[in-house]
């Protein structure tokens, strides 16, 4: 797809990954952006303050499950790419409150697909040929890996939590709208993201801020759950490529090739902070506290990104070490961003009610 006059509607553009996508797209030539976001607790308009007032950036507050609001936004903006990132994404919250995940992740995706289909059918010629609906998902839909192997694009789905089940459902809907109606859909599944502007309920920002403040650092179980870590700016670059050059009907896995146990991640954060901002008379590893494991906690995720690398030429630019250091430094330098969020979410544990 040509890069000239790209009009991209990003759902969930004020969230962690969505805001990274908006910032990345804003740095390209001839790209207009519509950020369509409900502004739930995890969204932060401050993540996109640098784009406010720019001619090629618009923000519309709206819910992806509201068909009228979605259609109105699409008709007014006339995107040639829709990047659908809006989702409830915290596993612990899905355990205590699955209803919001069903509504946003499943019903919201259905609404987006229907509105996109209506819009695409009204297009003609090159405009219709160029249109893409890019559905962004997670590696958690594949379930849990053993000690060996990687998730590929053909790995069978095996979701284990309300969150991953809702995302698996949305993936199936997106593919069904391609096969049944011909809507030019591409799907991507990513590994765990980290980086700047990350809401402090997730592991890396939560541990960074707790460690900065000298608070306990809770680690589930023995801390031996393994994740593949992907810097969010590497992911944003990948999503831009997939949305503009991906083949309709295909899916692409995006991973950083940075497998670490949760305990290794926490220890690495402690070590970087001890170097950059030492605590008096103690190391931050002494703050690590092992707590009861999360229900249904998948043992290991790891992504095989070979297809994306070979077909679209993408490669992660950050190693885990370089990306983590940059991330920790960003939190040290940007208290004005995270302090208001920290006031309404102080790091309390979620997701323990299973009966």
Give the active site residues. Answer: 139-140, 163
Closest CA to 60 of 3, 9, 111: 9
User: What are the angstrom distances between the C-alpha of 181 and each of 64, 75, 120, 121, 175?
Assistant: 20, 20, 11, 10, 10
Distance between CA atoms of residues 129 and 186, nearest Å = 14
Distance between CA atoms of residues 96 and 343, nearest Å = 22
What DSSP letter does each residue of 166-234 carry, written as one string?
A: HHHHHHHHHHHHHHHH---EEEEEE-EEE-TT--TTSHHHHHHHHHHTT--EEEETTS--EEEEEEHHH
Q: Give me 185's structure tokens.
A: 């859909």
Distance between CA atoms of residues 241 and 235, nearest Å = 10
Cβ neighbours for 296, distance < 8 A, ≥ 6 positions apart = 95, 160, 161
Largest CA distance in the chain: 69
Distance between CA atoms of residues 328 and 205, nearest Å = 8
**Burial of 103: CB neighbours in 10 Å, binned 0-12, 13-18, 19+:** middle
């Amino acid at each position: 797809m040509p890069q000239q006059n790209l009009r991209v509607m990003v759902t969930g553009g004020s969230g962690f990954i969505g805001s990274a996508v908006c910032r990345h797209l804003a740095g390209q030539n001839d790209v207009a952006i519509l950020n369509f976001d409900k502004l739930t607790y995890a969204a932060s308009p401050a993540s996109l303050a640098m784009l406010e007032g720019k001619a090629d950036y618009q923000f519309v507050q709206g819910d992806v499950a509201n068909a009228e609001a979605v259609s109105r936004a699409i008709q007014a903006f006339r995107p040639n790419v829709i990047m659908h990132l809006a989702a409830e994404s915290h596993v612990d919250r899905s355990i205590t409150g699955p209803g919001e995940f069903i509504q946003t992740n499943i019903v919201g995706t259905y609404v987006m697909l229907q509105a996109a289909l209506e819009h695409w059918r009204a297009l003609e010629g090159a405009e219709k040929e160029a249109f893409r609906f890019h559905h962004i998902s997670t590696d958690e839909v594949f379930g849990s890996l053993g000690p060996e192997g990687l998730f590929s694009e053909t790995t069978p789905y095996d979701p284990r939590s309300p969150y991953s089940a809702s995302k698996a459902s949305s993936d199936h809907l997106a593919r069904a709208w391609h096969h049944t109606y011909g809507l030019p859909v591409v799907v991507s599944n990513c590994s765990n993201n980290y980086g700047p502007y990350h809401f402090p309920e997730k592991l890396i920002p939560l541990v960074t801020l707790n460690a900065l403040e000298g608070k306990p650092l809770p680690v589930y179980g023995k801390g031996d759950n393994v994740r593949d870590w992907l810097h969010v700016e590497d992911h944003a670059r990948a999503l831009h490529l997939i949305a503009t050059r991906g083949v309709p009907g295909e899916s692409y896995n995006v991973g950083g090739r940075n497998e670490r146990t949760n305990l290794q991640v926490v220890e690495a954060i402690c070590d970087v902070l001890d170097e950059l901002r030492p605590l008096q008379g103690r190391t931050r590893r002494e703050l690590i506290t092992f707590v009861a494991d999360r229900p249904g906690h998948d043992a290991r995720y790891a992504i095989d990104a070979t297809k994306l690398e070979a077909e679209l030429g993408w490669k992660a630019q950050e190693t885990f070490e370089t990306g983590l250091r940059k991330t920790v430094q960003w939190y040290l330098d940007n208290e004005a961003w995270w302090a208001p969020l920290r006031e309404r979410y102080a790091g309390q544990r979620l997701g323990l009610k299973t009966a």
